[in-house]
Structure 1
Amino acid sequence: MPFNPLQERGIPLDKQLRSWRELNVTPVDPDHVDPYTLCRVITMNGIEVEAILFSHQLARHCPDIELKQQLARTRYIEAQQQKAVNWLLPGVSSVLETTISYEQVAVDLTSWVARMEPDPYLQQAYQFGVLEDFDHLYRYANLYEMIEHRKAEKIVDGVTEVMPGRPTYLHHRNPVDNVREPYDRSSAAPISKLHALTIMSTEQQTMNFYMNVGPTYMEPIARQLYQEIGMVEEEHVTHYESLVDPGESWWEMLLNHEYNECYLYHSFMATESDPKVRAIWELHLNMELEHLRLAAELFKQHDGRDPEEVCAPELPQPVTFEPNKAYLRELLATQIDCTTLGTGYVQEAHERFQQMQDALMGGEKPASERVIAENRAKSGEEYRLQTEGEHPVHSLALSRH
């Protein structure tokens, strides 16, 4: 049934405040949880964190005290939502186990977005990025086996394969080559705007997560791997945030943020297998409908336009976490050799790329390469999880090691 969040009424804002008892949600059981439930939790945490950070930035550029107060009221509720969502994660899970779930989000969410994206240029951006996150999953899975003596198969539950993607050491590019062309806000499909905002938000939380948890490890190889991949995630945030048209006004950006939250909560409510988690998605959707209504009023007041001019008249097809094995294998077979040059892509190493590689490597192998060799020496073989067929053979045009 079509659902237009701009026409729905949610819970009034003054009824949305929750007590500490209500925020003290029961975490999911890591031994029995659907891996895609964890993926939905991690995704919505990233979305809520982005909503909070964006609201803070808007407030810092807003001279009107009453508007700052209105933003603060909504932002406090968003912060409560973020706590409820993120506290669904099981406290017994290690940082590495959560990391593997973060990368499973990156792989399967970005693959789904790439498959559904109507704009070929934007689609290429997602295809490019997902092959790098796919490789990160493989590197962290080997680290997990090496230092915790466990296999990532239990976490990803076989729905996501674990094997090499574009090798991580090839992800280190000159910063100027991480900037893409933005979509055109006047002509882009509404779903394209939601896709860009979603992947930007989830990659941003991954970047923040790695930069904070990386130094908490004692093992040198773990510290170095988080540092290396953390720098790639900074590249990814640059890559994805540059897809958003910077010509959007503050109020248009606020409207898109709130609409996207409604879209994702509605999507996950429809696909969630855990009843207790589904109830949280439903509650938050009803809160976000009111946040969207308030953002729409601000948009009309300050931009002098109707929200329907920039938002879809009904929610698009629900975002779905599902296996993307065949899709990823096709990308591996055709795009593993890609790198970026300016705002486009090439399949041969170029001068800026080589200069960056030389400056970073210093003649030594990076942690992302050493973790595989060290796990092979310690465990007898490197860790891979292939559920069907053989890994395609690639010619790495960019490989120099």
Structure 2
Amino acid sequence: MDFPVNEIRDGQKQLAPHINFDEEYHFFYDESNNPRKLYTRETDFNTSITGSFVLGGIVDNGIVFNFEELWNSLQLQKNTKELKFKHLASGDFINCLKSRKLNIFLKFIDDEDILVHLSCINLLYYSIVDIVDSALMNRKELFELGPQFIAELKDIMHQVLRENLDETRALFFKYNYPNISNEDIPEFIKEIINITNYKNRNIKNQKSLKILKETLDFSGDKQKMPFLGGEKNNMLIEEFYQFYIKQIYMFKNSYHTFDNEDAIQKIIGKFRLIDGKRILENYTFKDSQSDIMIQLSDIIVALTSKYKIFINNHSEELIRLEFEKLSDLQRDNLKLYTKIISKSDKYNPGFFHHITGITEVNRMLTLNNLIENK
């Protein structure tokens, strides 16, 4: 299947003219929290939907690293064949921060100025944005209020459905979301509005919530939701391959080494990524045992996945309470982790790709501010 990349790549570059996508790097990847498919069942989702799919790892920009020093410092068992996150830490994000071996690893990454890259996709947010986009297509004048306003509507939609997850899941299953028939749109919209009418105490922007409800109601009356329908019943996310492909073509002058993932490899292999007169062949899949860079990527990605679960499931108030309880070691690990992210972001913001709501971003900023002020 032919996939010309330059038109979509140029469009993405125009949205972020300050980012250098043309430099040559070597990206190494691992992934975490990839359910392969995400769908609703009668009594639950097939997997936890309150976390984020994370794809990312280490960026090699020519710096030589002393891996043997790291390996020796970690004092791993002699029969250890490859470095994995489980060798350094376990438990949720807060418990992982108690690990001295994690501290050794993060200090090594920081001291060696090793760069990292991350794509993080909030599973629930990614699953529901088509509801808002569809509603806005019926009220196109709202686009004139700008991207920040649209982002606020999507964030509020996500907050409401996240706070009422059982009702959301039941609603999705009942109407085969996202494969909703035109006949069912009015009732589907009516039930979503019912959910938005719950207390929803954490919704601060009541004005935007009111506009969201009015926009949804208007779409229900028109019996039209352009981006819903024509899908598989109850299949929220069928594939994640597009996030791999995006890295390949956005950084088309770079090389990309992914951890072996047979299903993804087969799908990507079906595409011919056409760059003008050439076919992009700037990627490979390797066994992590044979590549220390993929092993380092495993640790960065696994820790980030736990961090995202923590952020997704803690309000700003709870984040402050948890931070106050941290030990010196936990705070040091947290500070090192955020420093590594910040250093890489300053080097090239294109190393980071997030699909999530404003609320989650604000929670991350809250935690960053707590770290900086201590």
TM range, smaller chain? under 0.3
Bigger relative CO (Cα 8 Å, ≥ 6 apart): 2
Question: Comparing both structures, which one devotes a greater share of its residues to strand?
Answer: 2
- TM-score, normalization: structure 2? 0.26
Question: Comparing both structures, which one devotes a greater share of its residues to helix?
Answer: 1
